[in-house]
Amino acid sequence: MVPLLLACLARPVPVIVVGDGQRRTVYTRAATVGEALAQAGIPLGDLDRISPPETARITPGMVITVTRITQTLEVQEVQIPFPRQILKDARLAPGETRLIRRGEPGVEHVTFRITWADGQPIERQEIHRERIRDPVPEIIAVSLLGEVASRPISGTLVFLARRDVWRMVGETSRIVRLTHLGDLDGRVFALSPDGSTLLFSRAPVTSTRTALNTIWGMSLQVDPPRLQPLGLGNVLWLGWSPQGDQVAFTTGEPSPGPPGWRAHNDLWIGRWVGGRIEARRVLTPTAGGPYGWWGMTWAWAPDGRRLAFGRTDGVGVLDLETLRATLLITFPIYETRSAWAWTPALAWSPDGRYLAALVHGPPRSGEPPEQSTRFDLWILAVDEGWARPLIEDVGLWAGILWTPQGLFFGQARQPEAGDASRYDLYWADHDGSDRRRLFPPEGEVGFGGQPDLLWAPDGQGVVVRYQGDLYWIAIPSGQINRMTAQGDIAAMAWR
């Protein structure tokens, strides 16, 4: 029996091989499909499919199917549709529209891997997508006339437009021009906490650039308002204390090159007495850290006893009683490679225990720290000595407003290009949770830089300056109401 069985195994058996467009009969002594194909001289590629599988045992008359599998790459150029953005313009008649900028589609190169079976495509898989050109949004201007409904307002709301001071009186529809100077430069536009006095800066009379500006005061308690020069000039920043009994300001000097000034990085504290500011210098001029020629950011604490300051490389607090300055956090400077410098936005918590600050963050990849385009919103515990990031990657012009109802801040639509990106206004709880987008409405152009925000005196909402007009956002509903149809408002104050 054994010799007979061996003789049977040695005898070739027929199998049918289907592949490469042929159907042929092969006689083989192989034990498995794979061995049979090898003995028949039929090569197999790494991707080829065999049925039955290569390990299957040979039986007489079995059909072996070889499917040739190949893969190729294909790159397609795909257009990215451009979005449409709406710009409201008070100069257009109702129903009129105007094309401000034509949209251009973006371009992406999409790489596909195509799988072929015996020359026929059976699978198409995207494996890579590279953006070659970003889409350029189409911007269409439409009329905003008829969108402004009159609503009552409380307190004193003033704004700067056409280089003059304007005031809302009782209703949003009642706007009165208070000055006809035509030379306010907008650097200083500070309203006292009781709404009685406005301090503002005027551009030099001559073009010789011997002075940066002059500071004037306006009493809003008399009609018509009374203006008077305060004997101050070359002021880079000025702010009222929360109690309204003091003002703080810093100075600089004209500079022939960009940006046109050089900061002294000093500090003066003054009192408003009889329509004038009696001030003393509490900090002598300093270099102000790297890029100190630009100046520093300042913010009064709610109790009026401290000032927070932001430099290009850190954030700190100055105690006005001891004149001791304490750095709370440091970070690498941001190399703008231009005639401007970045300094952090600051906002005190309503209870004065914490400070919200924009901080230059770590690099995204392998670039030097000074070239990082990441900016995060941090919370600094002023007296407890700790600091932690709250919201990451908001963009360098984020802006911050801390109110009893939470934090308002700008969020860059393209954080990696924050200096050129448009910004949206967001709200978050004090701990950074429950974030939601508030403004502008979907489809409209974002803020072109740091959002200008005010907490309304009645505590019921926030006011934003957007595209030259003022908008009221009710909190917590988020309802938006346009307050003006000026189109050229450059600064605002509301007490």
93 and 127 part of one domain = yes
Same domain, 43 and 85: no
Confidence tier at 252 by pLDDT (50, 70, 90): very high
10 Å Cβ neighbour count for 237?
Answer: 18
| Alpha carbons within 13 A on the beta-carbon side of 54 | 13
Last residue within a domain, chosen from 67, 83, 104: 67
* Mean pLDDT, rounded, for 89-93: 68
Statement to judge: residues 9 and 90 lie in one domain: no
Among 44, 67, 90, identify where a domain stops: 67
Whether 1 has a pLDDT exceeding 50, the answer reads no
Whether residue 167 has pLDDT greater than 50: yes
d(CA 4, CA 14): 20
**Tokens 């007979």 map to which residue?**
4
Q: Do residues 231 and 276 share a domain?
A: yes
Q: What is the pLDDT of residue 287?
A: 83
Interval 392-407: pLDDT, tens: 999 999 999 999 999 9
What is the per-residue pLDDT for 143?
Answer: 72
Q: What is the pLDDT of residue 88?
A: 65
- Average confidence (pLDDT) over 131-151: 78
Residues 334 and 384 in one domain: yes
Q: How far apart are the first and last CA of the chain?
A: 112
Provide mean pLDDT across the span 14-29: 91
Predicted pLDDT at 404? 94
Same domain, 475 and 333: yes
Whether 449 and 365 share a structural domain: yes
Q: Which amino acid is at 261?
A: W
Looking at the structure, tell me whether residues 194 and 128 fall in a common domain: no
pLDDT of residue 444: 87
- pLDDT band, residue 147 (cuts 50/70/90): low
pLDDT at 101: 86
Q: Which pLDDT belongs to residue 289?
A: 81
**Cα 371–Cα 374–Cα 377 angle in degrees, nearest 5:** 135
On whether both 336 and 403 belong to a single domain, the answer is yes
- Residue % of the chain over a pLDDT of 70: 95
* Least confident stretch, 85-94, 198-207, 232-241, 466-475: 85-94
> For residue 100, what is the domain's CATH number?
2.20.230.10
Mean pLDDT of the chain: 90
| Rounded-to-5 percentages of helix, strand, coil across the chain | 5, 50, 45
Q: Do residues 91 and 118 both lie within one domain? A: yes
Report the pLDDT value the prediction gives residue 2, as an integer from 0 to 100.
42
Over residues 30-65, the pLDDT tens digits come to: 999 999 999 889 999 989 999 999 999 999 999 999
Rounded to whole angstroms, the Cα distance separating 390 from 381 reads: 12
Alpha carbon distance 49, 23 (integer Å): 16
Say if residue 164's pLDDT is above 50: yes
Q: What is the pLDDT of residue 332?
A: 96
Do 212 and 246 lie in one domain? The reply is yes
Residue 385 reports pLDDT greater than 80: yes
Rounded Cα gap, residues 460 and 404, in angstroms? 10
Q: Are residue 79 and residue 59 in the same domain, yes or no?
A: no
DSSP, res 417: G
pLDDT tens, 268-309?
A: 999 988 778 999 999 999 888 889 999 999 999 999 999 999
201-218 residue pLDDT tens? 999 876 556 789 999 999
Mean pLDDT of 344-361: 96
How many structural domains is the chain composed of?
3
pTM comes to 0.72
What's the confidence (pLDDT) of residue 6? 41
**Cα 472 from Cα 482, distance rounded (Å):** 6
Find the CATH number of the domain harbouring 6. Answer: 3.10.20
DSSP H or E stretch at residue 487: none
Structural domain for 134, as ranges: 71-141
Please give the helix or strand (H or E) that residue 299 lies within, else none.
strand 297-300
**Looking at 67, 100, 116, which one is the last position of a domain?**
67
Domain of residue 258, CATH code = 2.130.10.10
